[in-house]
Amino acid sequence: MLRDYQQRAVRQVRECWDQGHQSVCLVSPTGSGKTTMAAELCSGYGRVVWTAHRKELIQQAVDRLTAYGYRVGAIAPGMRHDAGAQIQVCTIQTLMARGVRPEADLLVQDEFHHYAPASEEWSRFRAAYPHARVVGPTATPERRDGSTLGDVATALVVAANYSELLAAGHLSPCVVYAPPPDKASSGWSCDPVTAYTKYAPGTLAFAFFDRVARATEWERAFLTAGIHARTIDGKTKPSDRDCYLEEFSRGQTRVLCNVATMTEGVDIPAAQTCLLARCPDHASTFLQMVGRVLRPFPGKEHALLLDIADATSRHGYPTEDREYSLTGKAITRTVKSEVRRCAECMAMFPRSLAACPMCGWVPPTPKPVEVRIYDAGLARVYRGADTPDDAKRAERDRLIELAKRRGIGLWFVVKEYKKLFGAEPSLGDLPEADKRAEYDALRLQQIRKGYKPGYVSVRYKGTFGTWPPKAWALAPLAQAQHSEPEEIPW
How do residues 440-469 score in pLDDT, each as one tens digit?
888 888 888 888 878 889 888 888 889 999
Question: How distant, in Å, are the alpha carbons of 31, 140, 245, 355, 486 from that of 331?
Answer: 18, 8, 30, 30, 48
**Any domain includes 196:** yes
| Mode of pairing for the β-strands spanning 339-341 and 331-333 | unpaired
Give the CATH number, domain containing residue 140: 3.40.50.300
How far apart, in whole angstroms, are the C-alpha atoms of residue 149 and residue 211? 28
Q: Domain check: are 140 and 259 in the same one?
A: no
Q: Which domain holds residue 402?
A: 384-487
Cα angle 231, 296, 348 (rounded to 5 degrees) comes to: 80
Q: Domain check: are 107 and 172 in the same one?
A: no
For residue 104, the Cα-to-chain-centroid distance in whole angstroms is 38
Q: What is the per-residue pLDDT for 382? A: 56
The residue that leads in pLDDT, 2 or 391, is: 2
**Any domain includes 378:** no
160, 187, 207: which is the final residue of a domain? 160
Q: What is the per-residue pLDDT for 341? A: 82
CB atoms within 10 A of CB 335: 9
Confidence check: pLDDT of 479 > 80: no
Confidence check: pLDDT of 187 > 50: yes
pLDDT in tens, 155-172: 999 999 999 999 999 999
332 forms beta bridges with 323
How far apart, in whole angstroms, are the C-alpha atoms of residue 318 and residue 257? 20
**Any domain includes 26:** yes
**Any domain includes 371:** no
**Any domain includes 464:** yes
**Any domain includes 370:** no
Q: Domain check: are 341 and 396 in the same one?
A: no
Helix 454-464 to helix 432-449 angle, to the nearest 10 degrees? 140
Q: Domain check: are 100 and 180 in the same one?
A: no
How far apart, in whole angstroms, are the C-alpha atoms of residue 353 and residue 340? 9
408 forms beta bridges with 483
Number of structural domains in the chain: 3
Q: Domain check: are 208 and 316 in the same one?
A: yes
Closest CA to 240 of 250, 231, 249: 231
Q: If pLDDT is split at 50, 70 and 90, which confidence band does 419 have? A: confident
Q: By the 8 A CB rule, do 65 and 87 touch?
A: yes
Q: Domain check: are 24 and 127 in the same one?
A: yes
Q: By the 8 A CB rule, do 251 and 271 touch?
A: no
Q: Domain check: are 142 and 254 in the same one?
A: no
Q: Specify the range with the lowest mean pLDDT, choosing from 188-202, 298-312, 396-410.
A: 396-410
Q: By the 8 A CB rule, do 28 and 128 touch?
A: no
- Side chain identity at residue 363, one-letter code: P
Mean of per-residue pLDDT scores for the chain: 88
Q: Specify the range with the lowest mean pLDDT, choosing from 260-269, 273-282, 455-464, 477-486.
A: 477-486
pLDDT in tens, 68-86: 899 999 998 888 788 889 9
Q: What is the per-residue pLDDT for 489? A: 31
Q: Domain check: are 155 and 20 in the same one?
A: yes
Q: Domain check: are 152 and 187 in the same one?
A: no
Tell me the chain's radius of gyration from C-alpha atoms.
Answer: 35
CB atoms within 10 A of CB 344: 11
Closest CA to 335 of 149, 162, 144, 159: 162
49 forms beta bridges with 88, 107
Q: What is the per-residue pLDDT for 224? A: 96
> For the sheet containing 339-341, what is the strand order?
229-232, 255-258, 205-208, 273-276, 303-307, 174-177, 348-350, 339-341
Q: Domain check: are 288 and 216 in the same one?
A: yes
Q: Domain check: are 66 and 25 in the same one?
A: yes
325-345: average pLDDT: 85
Full DSSP string of 211-278: -HHHHHHHHHHHHHTT--EEEE-TTS-HHHHHHHHHHHHHTS--EEEESSSSSSS---TT--EEEE-S
Return the DSSP state at 477: P
User: 3-state class of 160 per DSSP?
Assistant: coil
How far apart, in whole angstroms, are the C-alpha atoms of residue 486 and residue 413? 11
160, 194, 228: which is the final residue of a domain? 160
% the chain with pLDDT above 90? 52
At residue 386, φ and ψ (nearest 5 deg) are: -80, -5
160, 192, 226: which is the final residue of a domain? 160
**Any domain includes 211:** yes
Q: Domain check: are 105 and 229 in the same one?
A: no
**Any domain includes 355:** no
pLDDT in tens, 86-99: 999 999 889 888 88
